[in-house]
Structure 1
Amino acid sequence: MKTLFRILFGIFATVHSVSAQSPVKIAVVGLTHSHVHWILGREDKGDVEIVGIVESNDDLARRFLGRHGLPMDLVYPTMEALFSKVRPEAVTAFGSIYEHLEVVQACAPRGIHVMVEKPLAVSSAHAREMAELARKHGIHLLTNYETTWYASNHEVKKQLSDPAVIGPLRRVVINDGHEGPMEIGVNKEFLDWLTDPVLNGGGAVIDFGCYGANLMTWLMDGQRPISVTAELKQIKPDIYPKVDDEATILLEYPKAQGVIQASWNWPFSRKDMEVYGKTGYLLAKNTTQLVSRMAGERSESVRNLPQRPYPYDDPFSYLAAVVRGKVVVKPTDLSSLENNLVVVEILDAAKESAAKGQRIYLK
């Protein structure tokens, strides 16, 4: 009975805390990234309010807004048109990766915070300009990854903080991929830029390689790798003639190694992580399942974890909490600007390594 009371009290306290503050006014810039359904179809928690949507493709806007029962009077053809009518506190960007710079160029001077969908930028040059603008104008510039909200990943990080659990970190293998964007049926507007080497910066190496770079940088507490070695392949050039559809990235650290496996060729979708120490290993199998085996144990143990607590359970709750000052973003956090500058640096080096057929040492 006491346990039930604590659970109910926790739920009440969370609801009361959210309702006690005004929702953060958010604008959505771009609808071509299909992850936008995450916010358009999100349950109303009272912490954010969509006050405008920027999308020049009227047909796309009607399809997506109609699907979620949202009015078309929210839609503006350009950011300038939006900003002339409404003043959002934050913007979430769901266009091409190449367009992220343009979003920050428009928002930063206006003091509007920005969260982009992964990765931060299409290149290090874009990323550095975005960072400079964010710092100059004092805005938060966050990057959203689905895996940031996985309880299993955070439990791995927590376990690593105790050297007695699996010993010193030695090797991490991060697997992210699916059958391919064409094969899983993403909308045409998304596919058009996702398979464009300029608008997306690459294929699977960008789309899925960024997850591994983000998680590995986080596990290494923000440390940049010594070197990056990568092999990119086109297994299906008839479907993806302009970009890679298979990527393997090797990250070298003084006493550890990271292996990122990113694919548009796997038989099933997966996002999982294997972490090996000197005396044991931890496997984050999915959102909540953690498999482990430690020194002295004869078999693996399986734990099913609860979902992460509010506001760490989804990107928009987190964004609202950051804007309201309820959460402080540390440089080593998964969503932080510092982490994601390293991510883009790793991805740039991976593309260079594959093109030159050699290991790339980071300066």
Structure 2
Amino acid sequence: MRLLKLLPALAVCLLFPALSFAQSSSTPLKVAIYGLEHGHIAGFLHQFPQQHEVELVGIVESDKALANRYQQEFHLDPGLFYNTLDEVVAAKHPQALLVYTSVGDHRKVIEAAAQHNLSVMVEKPLTISLDDALAIRRAARAHHIHVLVNYETTWYSSNKAVYDLINQGKLGDVRKVVIHDGHEGPKEINVQPEFLKWLTDPATNGAGALYDFGCYGADLMTWWMHGKTPISVTAVAQTDKPDIYPHVDDDATIILRYPGAQAVLMPSWNWTFSRKDSEIYGNKGYAITVGLNKLRLRYVGEKQESEITPDPLTPPQDGSLHYLAAVMNGTLNPDGDQASLDTNMIVMQILDAARESVRTGQTVKLKPLPAN
């Protein structure tokens, strides 16, 4: 949540990569924003003037005070603001919708967008439950729209380097993965009040740190495991700061079991500092990510580890707006990547099962979702 400069990317319903999505790469993609209560919108608005592939044509926000605050802070044209989705569609004919509501509102906004044949980008995670995720997938298929999910960690060259090492067999068989995500807590880092309100409500966030940061590890592990569904999910969660977070967890651990491998996800609002880093151990070596663009490596037979700087990510997979434009103009098929809808259906299986495991104290067994 802290690195707001990284823009929303997206996840995609792949069953309909039809030419109807395509547009001239020289014509800016017309997008509208729905909602301003998700604090990550600030980073997106900072970046918007610096690119030319996407044109912002409208913002839907019914809270006048919130709309006015953003209008003044970012010097936005008052004519950009609308009260409803129907109004902005009729007036501006956007081609995609960027959703910055609470996670709990994702389903209803995506279903409304689908009625207008509008592709959608949401901030992570996809939604608050597997039932909602299945409904979103039905809407995407029925109306032939893309549904995209953005994770900050999608744009880390260190994570892409791990993916390449796994594919090249340099780490051997992946045996154990440990993923740390989180920060000191949303209140502690002074997120916007409207952001804090829904983050700390299980009805609008799904859980606390379990969902807010557990989704990063679930997404990365699903990508690194090439779309495999875990055999089981076991999770524990607790609230170490009940005076601040009385209704949601602020610390969690999620264990994912695969044939021959385990992943331990460690989402928390109790880290001493912000972190998003991973340890990947195979039978031929290990890789440890260090921030966005560093990697520590050690292979069998080596006496000490080395540190490398992976090659930078290249367009269109170096940022969310490049990514979105490429998906919408038909030059990028995000099959199985971090942003894709198929990947994020598995992420929602994991999060939903983790929440149930916390509730019951039991391990939850999973099976791959039916294709329809």
TM-score range, shorter chain: over 0.9
1:284 deviates by: 1.2
Preserved contact between residue 61 and residue 72 of structure 1 (Cα < 8 Å): no
Equivalence map 1:271-290=2 (5 Å): 271-290=276-295
Q: Which residue of 1 aligns with 2:29?
A: 24
Q: Which residue of 2 aligns with 1:96?
A: 102
Q: Which residue of 2 aligns with 1:258?
A: 263
Q: Which residue of 2 aligns with 1:10?
A: none
Preserved contact between residue 25 and residue 329 of structure 2 (Cα < 8 Å): no
- Could you tell which deviates more after superposition, 139-148 or 296-305? 296-305
**Structure 1 counterpart of 2:245, from 240, 243, 246:** 240
Deviations 1:165-206 (A, max 9, x none): 121110111110000000000000000001000011110001
**Which secondary structure state, in structure 1, belongs to the residue aligned with residue 247 of structure 2?**
coil
**Residue 293 in structure 1 maps to residue 279 in structure 2:** no
Structure 2 runs not aligned, ≥5 long: 1-22, 368-372
1:317 deviates by: 1.5
CA distance in 1: counterparts of 2:25 and 2:349, whole angstroms:
41
Equivalence map 1:32-181=2 (5 Å): 32-42=37-47, 43-163=49-169, 165-181=170-186
Q: Which residue of 1 aligns with 2:359?
A: 355
CA distance in 1: counterparts of 2:337 and 2:146, whole angstroms:
13
Q: Which residue of 2 aligns with 1:11?
A: none
Amino acid at match of 2:134: R
**Between the two proteins, what is the percent identity of the paired residues?**
47
Q: Which residue of 2 aligns with 1:206?
A: 211
CA distance in 1: counterparts of 2:244 and 2:86, whole angstroms:
37
- Could you tell which deviates more after superposition, 310-319 or 58-67? 58-67
**Structure 1 counterpart of 2:315, from 310, 321, 326:** 310
**Which secondary structure state, in structure 2, belongs to the residue aligned with residue 28 of structure 1?**
strand
Amino acid at match of 1:337: L
Preserved contact between residue 19 and residue 46 of structure 1 (Cα < 8 Å): no
Q: Which residue of 1 aligns with 2:192?
A: 187
Q: Which residue of 2 aligns with 1:15?
A: none
Amino acid at match of 2:137: A
Preserved contact between residue 93 and residue 100 of structure 1 (Cα < 8 Å): yes
Preserved contact between residue 168 and residue 277 of structure 1 (Cα < 8 Å): yes
**Which secondary structure state, in structure 2, belongs to the residue aligned with residue 198 of structure 1?**
helix
Amino acid at match of 2:187: M
Runs of 4+ residues deviating >4 angstroms: none
Amino acid at match of 1:99: D
Q: Number of matched residues?
A: 344
Deviations 1:111-165 (A, max 9, x none): 11101100001111111000001011111111000000110000100010122x1
CA distance in 1: counterparts of 2:218 and 2:78, whole angstroms:
38
CA distance in 2: counterparts of 1:329 and 1:138, whole angstroms:
15
**Structure 2 counterpart of 1:196, from 194, 201, 204:** 201
**Which secondary structure state, in structure 2, belongs to the residue aligned with residue 182 of structure 1?**
coil
Deviations 1:229-267 (A, max 9, x none): 000101011100010000100000011001000000011
1:19 deviates by: 10
- Could you tell which deviates more after superposition, 241-250 or 29-38? 29-38
**Structure 2 counterpart of 1:339, from 343, 353, 359:** 343
Amino acid at match of 2:325: A
1:59 deviates by: 1.7
**Which secondary structure state, in structure 2, belongs to the residue aligned with residue 231 of structure 1?**
strand
CA distance in 1: counterparts of 2:252 and 2:149, whole angstroms:
22
Q: Whose RCO is larger (CA < 8 A, sep 6+)? A: 2
Shift in alpha-carbon separation, 1:340–1:19, aligned structure 2, 3 A = closer
Amino acid at match of 2:263: G
Deviations 1:204-223 (A, max 9, x none): 00100000000011111100
Q: Which residue of 1 aligns with 2:3?
A: none
Q: Which residue of 1 aligns with 2:232?
A: 227
Bigger helix fraction = 1
**Which secondary structure state, in structure 1, belongs to the residue aligned with residue 236 of structure 2?**
strand
1:354 deviates by: 0.9
Task: Give the root-mean-square deviation of aligned CA atoms.
Answer: 1.4
**Which secondary structure state, in structure 2, belongs to the residue aligned with residue 25 of structure 1?**
strand
1:20 deviates by: 5.9
